[in-house]
Amino acid sequence: MSALATGPAVLAAARATVADASRVATSPKNASAASVRYRRQKVGDVDLFYREAGPVDAPVILLLHGFPTASHMFRDLLPQLADRFRVIAPDLPGFGQTKAPPRGTFAYTFDALATVVGGFVEALGLTRYALYIFDYGAPVGLRLAMRHPERVSAIVSQNGNAYVEGFSDQWGPWEAYWRDPSASNREACRSSLAPDTIRNWQYGTGADPLRLSPDGYELDIAYMARPGADEIQLDLILDYRTNVALYPAFQAYLRKHRPALLAVWGRHDPAFLPAGATAYRRDVPDAEVHLLDTGHFALETHHAEIAALMRGFLVRGT
């Protein structure tokens, strides 16, 4: 059943299960399953860090983070799903705790990120999984889905864009850099990496400040301050143009395979507009769409609501 929920009624169907989901995740008999485990997996020259929770024989959810964050963004969500699902969240190369080769010996492109995650999936023996795609995780995850559509049981897109309609008017410097990858245009994108941009624009726009913990954005700012991190991110900003070029292919995959799809979106996202969420219904008519009263990093303020929506959706749709 398709659903589009907006405004104050957005979570009417989910609220009844939010408290139940929280109790299940924290009850004593589920404490072991809900406990997050921190692991590493070698994939070629990459030492991939990942978080995992839930029974090893449970249905798998593979969660892919975005820019400029890491699997830390899923810290509140994982325990709320771990009683029923095996949840796995890696840090992409160039992010978080993953150790990857330096620029010049590793190509920081979205194709390369998808290849590493594909190797990670193979190493863990994952043959069937739901994808949670957010921000940069969307083009990485959709590349995986196109390469192995038989493995994808469902897709949860949380502010994970795959349509030009989803772009706001804030992409000017990036688009100029895509058209002309000059040194001056590269430098103009550097403001996207600044602490104030991360703290106030990416995290703060549209989010209730009383519900927005500083832990997430301050950790991201610290990661961005590491030597060489800025140049890696500028490489990925340039390569983002390949994602836009692949939008027709992503959409063709969705039309052909019609995966069960939930788009849950912070409606005040300054980068990806709600039109990016509703556009999924063009290719997957039965997609569920929910717009939340928050911003880009919706999990920071609405992790319980998103967990409840996911639990209901995955039970119905997979």
Active site residues: 296
Q: Which of 270, 267, 271, 275 is nearest to 305 (CA)?
A: 267
Q: Which of 66, 62, 65, 38 is nearest to 52 (CA)?
A: 38
Nearest to 238 by CA among 314, 152, 174: 174
- The DSSP code for 76 is T
Surface-to-core class of residue 166, CB atoms within 10 Å of its CB (0-12 exposed, 13-18 middle, 19+ buried): buried
Radius of gyration, CA atoms only, the chain: 18
Which H or E run includes 301?
A: helix 299-317
Pair 60, 286: CB distance under 8 Å: no
Half-sphere exposure of 13 (CA within 13 A, CB side): 17
Report CA torsion sign: 202, 205, 210, 211. Answer: negative
